[in-house]
A and B are shown apart, each in its own frame.
Chain A
Amino acid sequence: MITKFNPLNAKKDTGRTIGDNEVAKLANLNRMVDQVNTALAGGGGLGTLDIVTEGIIGYNPNFQYSTYAYPSGTVSGSQSVEVSAIPSIDLSAQGDGFGANSLTSIAFTTLKYANYIDIFGYSELTTISAPKLLQTNALQFSALFSLHTLDFPSLTKCTGIQIRGDSPFSITTLNFPALQSAAFNVSNGYCGIPSISNAKFSALTSISLEGNNVSDFVSVDLPLATEISYSGFSYNGSTFTTLNVPNIVVVKTSYIDFSSCNNLTNVTFGTVGTFKRFVVNGNSPYISFQYCNLNQASVDNILKVLASLDGTNGTTISLYGSLYLNGGSNASPSSAGYNARNILQSRGWYIATN
C-alpha cells in the first residue's frame, strides 16, 4: 500500500503554509493513490493468486508459485493464496502423485500479471484459461498432449510464448483477441499450432519468432502485423510453407533467417510503399532464405521491397546488409527482380541468388 499524503507532513516537507490550493493538490494526489492501491489489491497478480482446477490433482501436485517478496509456495487443488508481488508460476506433473495426470482444466480466475506461467506434463489437461491476465513475460506449455483450449481473452502483451509437445496434438481453440505483441518460440517436437495467424491472433501487430524442426508448424500469416520485433525472426524446418507479413512497416531485428525451409514457397515480406525501415542499432541486416523453395514472385518481392528503402517516401535508406536467396529450389529473379538486386548491390548489399 502506498501511504497517502498528509497536509501536516506536506507542511513539514515544504516549509510552506498550507492553503486551499495546496489542499486541493494533495486531495488529487490522494485520489491517485486510492486508484493505485485499488489496482494493487483488486485481484490477481498483485494481492491474490486464485487457481481453480478440475480433475484429480493427486497428493503430490507440485504446483509451485513464487514471488520476489516471499518464498515459494505450493497450491493443491483450487486455492486462493495471497501474494505481495507479481508471481512466477510453475505447475508441473513431475513426480508420481496419485491422479496427478488426471488434471483436466486449470483456470487462473483473477490473475492480472505474472512473471511467467509454466505448465508441464499433465497428459489429460485440455484447457488452460486466465480470463483477466493482462501481461506476462512468458507462457510455456510443454508435454500437454490433450491440450485443445488456450483462453487468454485479456492478454495484451507476452514476451515469450512457447508451446512444445512430443506427439501430435492440436489446439482447436485459441482465444487471444487482445494480444498485440508476442514473441513465439516453436521448437522441439510439436507445437500444436499449425499457423501463427491473425485468424487465431486477431489483434497481433508485433511479432518475433524463433524455432526449428517442429513437425506441425506450417505458416506465419499476419496481414495485420506492422512490426517485426527485436527478438529476431527466424525458423528452420521442412513443414513450413508460407510466410505472409505484407504490411510490415518497421523491422527491429537485424537477424531474419528462414534458411533450409525446403518447402517454403510463398513469402511476402513487406510491400513496396508500406515497408519503411530497419531499426537495428547500426547493425547491417542479415536476411536468409537459402535452400528454400521460393517461387519467383517471392524472390522478386523480397528484392523489390528492400530496394525500395532508398530514403524517399518516408523510408530510411538501408545501405548495407547481406541477403541470401540462393540454393535449394529457389527461383531465379525475373528481370525486374534482377534490377532490384543490382540497385541493392550498388548500394552496398552483399547478395546471392540462383
Chain B
Amino acid sequence: MSYIQADEHGIKTVTGNNWRLIHNGVQVIELAEQDFEASAGGTTEIFIADTKEACEAEIARLNLIKPEHLK
C-alpha cells in the first residue's frame, strides 16, 4: 500500500495491475482494480494496494465521500 509520488511536473503516474484509490482528500474520484497506465496531478492522490479492502480502509481513514456511481 502506498501513494504514488509526483514527478517534477507534479504528475503522479501509476502502472501495473493493482487496486487504485484516486481521491482529492475530500471525495473519491475512482476506486477500481486496473492494469493500465494512468496519471493525475494537482491535489489528486493515487493510492495503490493489493486489495479493495485496503482501499476501502483508506477511504474510511480519510472519511472520503464516494460518488454516486461507486455507492
- Hey, which bits of chain A sit against chain B, CB under 8 A? 254-255, 282-284, 286, 319-322, 326-327, 342, 345-352
Cβ proximity bits B12-49 to A, threshold 8 Å, 1 near / 0 not: 00000000001010010110001011111111101000
CB neighbours (8 Å) of A327 from chain B are 36
- With A322-B30, A326-B36: A346-B10 Cβ-Cβ less than 8 Å: yes
CB neighbours (8 Å) of A347 from chain B are 41-42
Bound-state Cα–Cα, A118 to B16, Å = 49
CB neighbours (8 Å) of A346 from chain B are 9-11, 41-42
Closest chain-B Cβ to A22's Cβ sits at a distance in Å of: 52
CB neighbours (8 Å) of A321 from chain B are 29
| 4 tightest A-B CB contacts, nearest first | A348-B42, A352-B38, A350-B40, A283-B67
User: Is B40's CB under 8 angstroms from A349's CB?
Assistant: yes
Closest chain-A Cβ to B49's Cβ sits at a distance in Å of: 16
- With A322-B30, A345-B11, A350-B22: A255-B39 Cβ-Cβ less than 8 Å: no
CB neighbours (8 Å) of B40 from chain A are 345, 348-351
Closest chain-A Cβ to B65's Cβ sits at a distance in Å of: 8
Q: Is B61 an interface residue (CB 8 A)?
A: no
Q: Is B68 an interface residue (CB 8 A)?
A: yes
Task: Please name 10 further chain A to chain B contacts, defined as beta carbons within 8 Å, in addition to the given A286-B67, A348-B41, A350-B46, sorted by A numbering.
Answer: A255-B68, A283-B67, A326-B36, A345-B11, A347-B42, A350-B22, A350-B30, A350-B39, A350-B44, A352-B38
CB neighbours (8 Å) of B11 from chain A are 342, 345-346
Closest chain-A Cβ to B4's Cβ sits at a distance in Å of: 11
- With A320-B29, A322-B29: A350-B67 Cβ-Cβ less than 8 Å: no
Bound-state Cα–Cα, A120 to B22, Å = 45
CB neighbours (8 Å) of B39 from chain A are 345, 350-352
CB neighbours (8 Å) of A348 from chain B are 24, 40-44
User: Is A284's CB under 8 angstroms from B43's CB?
Assistant: no
Bound-state Cα–Cα, A321 to B41, Å = 11
Closest chain-B Cβ to A302's Cβ sits at a distance in Å of: 15
User: Is B22's CB under 8 angstroms from A282's CB?
Assistant: no
Bound-state Cα–Cα, A346 to B13, Å = 12
25 inter-chain pairs at a CB distance below 8 angstroms, sorted by A residue, are: A283-B69, A284-B27, A284-B67, A286-B67, A320-B24, A321-B29, A322-B30, A326-B36, A326-B37, A345-B11, A345-B39, A346-B41, A346-B42, A347-B41, A348-B24, A348-B40, A348-B41, A348-B43, A350-B29, A350-B30, A350-B38, A351-B38, A351-B39, A352-B37, A352-B38
Bound-state Cα–Cα, A351 to B14, Å = 11
Closest residue of chain A to B39, judged by CB?
A: A345
Closest chain-A Cβ to B58's Cβ sits at a distance in Å of: 16
User: Is A254's CB under 8 angstroms from B68's CB?
Assistant: yes
User: Is A349's CB under 8 angstroms from B44's CB?
Assistant: yes
Closest residue of chain A to B46, judged by CB?
A: A350
CB neighbours (8 Å) of B22 from chain A are 322, 350
User: Is B24's CB under 8 angstroms from A345's CB?
Assistant: no
CB neighbours (8 Å) of B41 from chain A are 345-348
